[in-house]
Amino acid sequence: MQDWLKKVEKCKNLDKLEELRIEVFGKKGFLAAEFEKMKTMGGEEKKNLAKVLNEIKEGMRVALDEKKAALSAETLKLKLEKERVDITLLDTRIGSGALHPVLATMDKMIEYFASQNFSIETGPIVENDFNNFEALNLPKHHPARDMQDTFYMKDSMLLRTHTSSVQIRTMLNSKPPIRMIAPGAVCRRDYDLTHVPMFHQVEGLVVEEGDKVSFANLKSLLEDFLKYMFGDIKVRFRPSFFPFTEPSAEVDISCVFCGGDGCRVCKQTGWLEVLGCGVVDPNVFEAVGYKNVSGYAFGLGVERFSMLLNNTSDMRSLFEGDLRLLEQFV
């Protein structure tokens, strides 16, 4: 017994201790061999040997556990000492953080509209059908719903496809005048170079009593906003169709890459589409119980603006977390 305990004390590391444990407790170890001998022994002799072996077994178990705990603590101490960092030393490798380019672009947009006295409104991403579609002049089975590839849930709820649902919530909970933007994440079933399943929008709404608001007000605001974002560019409005506005328009800017001369990005047209807008359709006002009011709305994709501002060709790369790309915006 004492010889075994001395061997335990002489172990200097966990590997040696494990070898000793196997030598004693292994299938071909000391205890297994001694217990095997008991098969050929008589009653009293067998009883005495069993007592001795059980004492050795218990004593070695305790000794091995205590030694293992001591060696483990010593190993951990040495490891921590080796990995110790002097936090008082100056590390020139540490860089400064920065906002993600999409969030930085969104902040710039919010800053502009806040300066124009727009309130910032938010709403849930999980939305109901009324706020996301029906109140926006998109009733069930309306063909324009084919434009939206929507994530539906089993309980008839859905992931909002635009932040226009926040406009509906705002109008249901307040009365004119309203001057708001709704920045936030939206979801659609789309994934390619210029689309991702989750992206960000900023949608705006202005509502006044009577006929105080016109398309001319909308045009003036958006021209000023786009020049704030992109600098000295040309802006044009093209007639379009959106179920929730009438008249509707899509807004283009002169290509920021070629200056309007024509290139691969603008497909040789010299123009880039950046947002949609229009005068709010009367059916939308009727859905929220508004009467004798006028208003305009607009909506834009933040990632689209970020790609143009930062010369990024693949929208998906903005969400891959690749530091080689993101460090360029520090």
- Range name among 35-44, 82-91, 178-187 with the lowest pLDDT average: 35-44
State yes or no: pLDDT of 294 exceeds 90: yes
Contact between 229 and 109 under an 8 Å Cβ cutoff? The reply is: yes
Contact between 271 and 236 under an 8 Å Cβ cutoff? The reply is: yes
- Range name among 120-124, 140-144, 247-251, 267-271 with the lowest pLDDT average: 140-144
CB atoms within 10 A of CB 108: 15
Distance, first Cα to last Cα, the chain: 68
pLDDT-derived band of residue 325, with 50, 70 and 90 as boundaries? confident
Q: Are strands 119-120 and 178-187 parallel, antiparallel or unpaired?
A: parallel
Among 60-69, 204-213, 266-275, the range of highest mean pLDDT: 204-213
DSSP three-state, residue 3: helix
For residue 243, give the nearest of 325, 162, 144 by alpha carbon.
144
State yes or no: pLDDT of 318 exceeds 60: yes
Using a 10 angstrom Cβ sphere, with 0-12 exposed, 13-18 middle and 19 or more buried, the burial of residue 50 is middle
Q: What are phi and psi of 2, to 5 degrees?
A: -65, -35
Q: Please tell me which residue, 135 or 32, carries the higher pLDDT value.
A: 135
pLDDT-derived band of residue 173, with 50, 70 and 90 as boundaries? very high
- Range name among 46-50, 153-157, 164-168, 204-208 with the lowest pLDDT average: 46-50
Q: Which pLDDT value is given to residue 193?
A: 63
Among 38-52, 94-108, 222-236, the range of highest mean pLDDT: 222-236
Q: Does domain 101-329 have CATH number 3.40.30.10?
A: no
For residue 6, give the nearest of 24, 32, 33, 27 by alpha carbon.
24
For residue 203, give the nearest of 73, 316, 295 by alpha carbon.
295
For residue 131, give the nearest of 143, 123, 142, 141 by alpha carbon.
123
The residues spanned by each domain of the chain are 2-82, 101-329
DSSP three-state, residue 186: strand
Q: What is the pLDDT of residues 2-52, one digit of tens each?
A: 776 777 777 878 888 788 788 777 877 777 777 777 777 777 777 777 777
